[in-house]
Structure 1
Amino acid sequence: MSDKLDLTEAEWRERLTPEQFQVLREGGTERAFTGAYDKLKDEGEYYCAGCGSLVFRSDEKYDSGSGWPSFYAPADDGAVETEQDTSHGMTRTEVMCAKCDGHLGHVFPDGPKPTGLRYCINSAALEFEAAGDPPVGS
């Protein structure tokens, strides 16, 4: 994705709630089973709460039992980026929004077919648009 959204810390703080800022800009994680979208089964699309880019769809969402919304694939190949995360004394793969580099969560190799991946994503990093609703941000 070419057009990166690059804001100052003050601009991000103005744009996001304190919880969204902590997750998206500081790499935080909400507590398991507390996020708004963990158990949501509605059809629709999930957008980055930082920039409004489409990152996941309900078609690829499943209940992993982990306490966070889980998807076996992103909305498309260019929706997210990943990089190695060695924080907290472990090695994981961080998932970030491709447009704004916001921390969304982590991806693990223990998901269902067809990908075998589990994108474990923070609800605070997402905004949900139910099928048939007006687009996010309008």
Structure 2
Amino acid sequence: MNTPTTHLKTSPCPCGSAKPYENCCGRYLDQGETAPTAENLMRSRYTAYTLKREDYLLATWHPDTRPATLELTGQPAQQWLGLTVKRHEQTASDQAIVEFFARYKINGRAHRLHEISRFVREDGLWLYIDGEIL
């Protein structure tokens, strides 16, 4: 399990919650806690992208849609700039959607991802299924 630096533990979480990382997404990425909602899982997955935590991303991806690898280290350097959760809706006791905007730069050029992600809860764990990019 990757351990964040002391600076990251006390820094605001990359997911934009304004909570310290260790009290926010660090609970899921480093301490093994289960995300209680699809929104918490989505925020922790965003944070995992900022930290290049492919292990966490794959572990929280539903096996029916999960890729074999993400190869995050082989991609152009991304600088994640921020996350805005627009909507979280639990559509059934075991299904939810989260609509969000994620801002990032690749090679100095700004991009914005607008997605509606689908999540399912199996055996008490929320898992990412897929997303519709808008």
TM-score range, shorter chain: under 0.3
Q: Normalized against structure 1, the TM-score is what?
A: 0.27
More relative contact order in 1 or in 2 (CA 8 Å, sep 6+)? 1
Structure ranking higher in strand proportion: 2
Q: Normalized against structure 2, the TM-score is what?
A: 0.27
